Amino acid sequence: MKRHTKLSVNVNKFATIRNARGGNNPDLIQVAKDCERWGAEGITVHPRPDERHIRYQDVYDLKSVVTTEFNIEGYPSPDFIKMIHDIKPEQVTLVPDPPNVLTSNAGWDTEKHLSFLTEIIADLKQSAQRVSVFLEADPRLVKFAKQAGADRIELYTESYAQGYASNRDLAIKPFIETALEAELHQIGLNAGHDLDLNNLHFLSESLPNLLEVSIGHALVCDALYHGLQNTIQMYLSKLSMDV
């Protein structure tokens, strides 16, 4: 029987809504608790230096309430690395995004940055249980992620999401190839970015070694119509064999 792909809810967008008006509505801590209570198997945050959504203090506050997997994404700046050593999360996902980008828009060139990633990953593994590297769907890059010491890769799925409507088989092809390479090198497989209720099940079905997906923006948008509890259940159903 196919194993279940875990759903980690990225709560950045809830923080964006809170920050738009000030105060503490919605309450990010309560949101995280409710996501877990309603079935989420992880909570993801991606703090950025300008704190435009998740604030560094949010990350510290969430550590004491997250009971599933706490996944902290970000660029390994000195402040980010210090935070990881303080919090000791279950998973760190390294993303090569500069401070001014709106959202993550590229994966690591693990060959070009092999030396840098090797040093950073070795440092982070002193505190984090697992380190994942954000990666384009390019089989060639997998072996360098493994050489750098990463436990997992997270496939950057924007190109899949964009191509899904026109030709989903073509869109998924490089992701299947990269997933097979991950199996060959015995490195775990995550995925995230622009995944939604339309394209999620086909991705999960096509990548039998997919361990976890991280979803935020689309999930929050769907929650506006369906409610957060129902939406989490809908996403979980897309990751099951019963669709």
Q: Which residues are catalytic?
A: 46, 73, 193
Dist CA 103 CA 13 (whole Å): 11
H or E segment to which residue 115 belongs: helix 114-124
DSSP per residue over 144-185, as a string? HHHHTT-SEEEEE-HHHHHHHHHHHHHHHHHHHHHHHHHHHT
Q: How far is CA 213 from the centre of its chain?
A: 6
Residue 142's identity, in one-letter code, is: V
CB of 187 closer than 8 Å to CB of 154 = no
Dist CA 138 CA 122 (whole Å): 24
Phi then psi for residue 110, to 5 deg, are -70, -25
Dist CA 120 CA 117 (whole Å): 5
Q: How far is CA 231 from the centre of its chain?
A: 18
